[in-house]
Amino acid sequence: MIPPRRSIALLILSLALVVGFNGGGPATPHGVKYFTGKITEIARGSEMEPGKRENFYMLRLDEAPNTTFRLSPKDAVRFGVIEAAGPAAVVTPKMSKGLGWRVKLTCNAPPTGSLKAPVYQVTSLERLGD
């Protein structure tokens, strides 16, 4: 039988090792998810709620074809994915500069939408190359 003091010391050591191994990897903030892939589609959408209308841009990546990524119009222009345009209802080929770009997206998690077709809000876009 293990003396009580020794068993407590072993328990504390075991817990310290478990915490050390679980916390030793790269830190990923909770509520953040990363995606990489080539932009295959850029579209404009709007969502209407009572007394409110929100415009946004939608992206699709080749490596996550069933997932939709949303960008605010301001962020889409800031990241260079589209050319600044007026109130056009569709994204013309001339406007969609980012089509075909290989990118890394940082998104808020968890997604909205269904499990089969999740929708993520993009917080950062990094261009990796063409």
CATH, residue 107: 2.40.50.1040
Closest of 48, 55, 58 to residue 87, by C-alpha: 55
Q: How many CB atoms lie within 10 A of CB 29?
A: 8
Evaluate whether residue 23 is within a structural domain.
no
Token reading at 64: 């996550």
Give me the number of domains the chain comprises. 1
Greater confidence, 112 or 6?
112
Evaluate whether residue 103 is within a structural domain.
yes
List, for residues 31-75, the tens digit of each pLDDT value.
899 999 999 999 988 887 777 778 899 999 999 999 999 999 899
Residue 113 has pLDDT above 90, yes or no: no
Contact 105, 128 (CB under 8 A): no
Domain range for 108 is 32-129
- State if pTM tops 0.75: no
Evaluate whether residue 48 is within a structural domain.
yes
Evaluate whether residue 57 is within a structural domain.
yes
Cα distance between residue 65 and residue 63, in whole Å: 6
Evaluate whether residue 16 is within a structural domain.
no
What length is written for the chain? 130
In this structure, of 19-33, 35-49, 108-122, the range with the lowest mean pLDDT score is: 19-33
